[in-house]
Every structure is written in structure tokens, then in C-alpha cells.
Amino acid sequence: MHSLKVLVRARRSLPNLGAFPHRRSFSAQPHYAGYDDVQDQVLVDGRANSRTAILNRPSALNSLTTSMVARLKRLYESWEENPNIGFVLMKGSGKAFCSGGDVVTLYHLLAEGNIEDCKFFFDTLYKFVYLQGTYLKPHLAILDGVTMASGAGISLPGMFRLATDKTVFSHPEVQIGFHPDAGASFHLSRLPGYLGEYLALTGDKLNGVEMVACRLATHYSLNARLALIEERLGRLTTDDPSVIETSLSQYGDLVYPDRRSIIHKIEVIDKCFSHDTVEEIIHALEIEAADSYDEWCAMTLKKLREASPLSLKITLRSIREGRFQTLDQCLTREYRISLHGISGEVSKDFCEGVRARLVDEDFAPKWDPPSLEEVTKEMVDFYVSPLISEPELELPTASREPSV
């Protein structure tokens, strides 16, 4: 297990992030007046030797639509080819970096029978994630504020990830009957020990300090200093990662993760989440709760029991397979899971989860199957199996990774 005794750069103690309001914990409503134009939804800030993509749906916590991701992909491709651009940045406007995909829009599309547009969303998103994972120029994502689900997916492949005292990172997909996607099975599976399984199955949050401690983020800064950092980066004329690294490292001092941080529970996480099945994980947590009377165990069990049983088993399978796969292989598997999920052939848990948490907001999803015992191996196998009536995700691995 990797060591988690990592010092994080900051100038002073961090404020308490507090809980992120559950009413907007994953995505947002499908339509927002004033942000209909895709060019308004993704703004561009041009400097002498860099470009910044700004996610600009602040009322929707910058949740992603198909048109936004398509524009991001076009921009990044053009910037990669432009010899006058040395490096690129991405940030969000308002209080969020990105809250993930606009799943409410996907929910309404599925309700209308428009599954093709949903498929196109995932196809476009995963291809953009792969582009970032193989990008030829330095890329910095400024993760200031909410960074959730596929919002993490479009930032973590970059060379630099700057977290702040406002960062709230999580993968809450199992709470809406889905699975951590957009490369999550690649990134989470490479965290120290079994922290990735814990985050994927519970949807628990990390703050900026914790993101650096487990290496999801490469740098840390207080939100108040971001303007100074961006101004300094804007004056750079370079494509040298070490120059960008030096600029990012100049802001901050040393602090430790808070004593209540999940980082300090890595031993019990490894003890409980290293098991082969979700049932065994829950059993281990129940034993730990009885022996330790730790409130954390009770809260963790509560989160697991609220999630879709099918999503829990699919997610554990996905993370475990991701440990031994490349990014493109992980994206291919996640694409299969996503398309099987929205097809509703085995279960309609995705639509039911979005309905319960984000549409009707009754927070009482009726999962199908309703229990872990009723989720069969054949069901999980179906979700990760190759697509038969649909084309697989086509990624340009031959041109972007010719040595693979």
C-alpha cells in the first residue's frame, strides 16, 4: 500500500468545507435560461502562450451537456495542433468546477424514447476523456469548488490538477443507479490501498487537502490566491512542464489532513473494502462497527444500503478490473456499462435513481433488484459484456498511442 503520509501545501489552516447540499449533489435541471448558446457554456480565455476553457453553466454547477463536451473536444484538438500554444487550462465559473453530466437531461431524453442522443453523450464524453489522457501539451485543471462524477473524469487525466480549500470531490453515481465512469475505474483503482473502492461504493467526499494526500490532485492553493496563480501562468511563454510546476509550487506552506480525515482511516478501509464481494465488504463493516463503536462504520453502512444494489456490484467489478487495464480499456468497459444501463434491459435503476434524487426529490428510489442477494452474477456479466447490437467505443489508440 502506498504511503499516505503526504504533506500538503497551504499557508494557513483550512476552513471546514461542510456538507454539500444534497439537492444539487450530482447534476442539475435540464434547462437554464441565458446559457443556451454552447459558446456561452464554454468560454475561452486566450493568453500569449496558453488557452483556458471555462465551463460556464454556473446555475447548473457547470454540469456537462453533449454540446459542451463536443466544443471542449474541438477546442483541445485545435489547441494541441497550434504551435503558438504551449499549454492549456480548464476551470469552472461560479461555485463549481463541474458537477458531472447533466443526468436530468439524459433522464428526460430516455423518458421520450430518445436513447440515441444519450448514447452520443457518452460517446462524446469518453472520447474527450481519452484525448485528455493522451494530450501532448501540459494541461492544468483548476478544481475550485464542486468536482463530481464525470466532472472529475474531464480533469484527472491532465498533467496538473490544482485543488483548493473550496474543492469538494466525490463519485456519487451508485446513489442514482449508475456507475463511476469517464475514466473513474482507471483513476480510482490506482489510489492507495482500497480507497478507490471506498469512494466509488459510498460516494464519500474528499476535500482539496485529501485529494493531494491521495494524489488525485497534484497541487493545492487557497481559493484567495487563484487570481495570482492564473495571472502568473498567463504571463508564461513555455511548453515546459517544469516551468508550470514551479509556478504552481510557489504558493503555499505545509499542512496535514485534518485528524478527522478519511485519509487517517486507510487501515480500516483496506481491512473492509479489500474483500471480493459487496456482501463481504458489508459484513466486514458490521463486524468493525460492533467491535469499535465507530460512527464512521455506521455512516458507511448507511450509504451502502441506500445505493442501488445492482450499481454496487457493477461498480466493484469495474474498479477491480480497472486495476489491470489501461485508460482506453477502462473507457471501453465503462461505455458498455453505460449503454447497457440506459437500455433498461436488465434494470431501470438509472432512471429511477435520477427520478428519486433529482426530479421528484422524494429520496425513496425503488431499486430493481431491491437487494444484493437478488443481483446475480449473470446480471453483472451482462453489463460488462461486449455490445452486440451497438458499435463499441472507437478510440484513436493507434494514432495517439502507437507504441501500445
Q: Assign 227 to helix, strand or coil.
A: helix
The residue whose grid cell reads 510546476 is: 245
Q: Report if residue 34 sits inside a domain.
A: no
Rounded CA-CA distance 176/63 in Å is: 16
pTM: 0.88
Rounded CA-CA distance 336/184 in Å is: 14
Please name every residue paired with 161 in a beta bridge, in sequence order, or none if there are none. 141
C-alpha cell read off for 191: 489510489
C-alpha cell read off for 365: 428510489
- pLDDT score of 14: 29
Per-residue pLDDT of the chain (404 residues; tens, 9 = 90+): 343 433 333 322 223 333 333 333 343 333 333 444 777 999 999 998 999 999 999 999 999 999 999 999 999 999 999 999 999 999 999 999 999 999 999 999 999 999 999 999 999 999 999 999 999 999 999 999 999 999 999 999 989 999 999 999 999 999 999 999 999 999 999 999 999 999 999 999 999 999 999 999 999 999 999 999 999 999 999 999 999 999 998 876 566 788 889 999 999 999 999 999 999 999 999 999 998 888 999 999 999 999 999 999 999 999 999 999 999 999 999 999 999 999 999 999 999 999 999 999 999 999 999 999 999 999 999 999 999 988 999 999 989 888 76
C-alpha cell read off for 200: 466509488
Query: How many residues are there in the chain?
Result: 404
Q: Report if residue 91 sits inside a domain.
A: yes
Rounded CA-CA distance 202/190 in Å is: 17
Q: Report if residue 11 sits inside a domain.
A: no
Q: Report if residue 398 sits inside a domain.
A: no
- pLDDT score of 305: 96
Q: Report if residue 23 sits inside a domain.
A: no
- pLDDT score of 253: 55
Rounded CA-CA distance 373/304 in Å is: 14
Q: Assign 210 to helix, strand or coil.
A: helix
Q: Report if residue 24 sits inside a domain.
A: no
Q: Give the CATH number for residue 284.
A: 3.90.226.10
Q: Residue 330 belongs to what domain range?
A: 42-253+260-390
Amino acid at residue number 324 = F
Q: Report if residue 26 sits inside a domain.
A: no
Whether residue 30 is preceded by a cis peptide bond, meaning omega within 30 degrees of 0, is no
Domain count, the chain: 1
The residue whose grid cell reads 456519487 is: 172
Q: Report if residue 28 sits inside a domain.
A: no
- pLDDT score of 255: 66
- pLDDT score of 320: 97
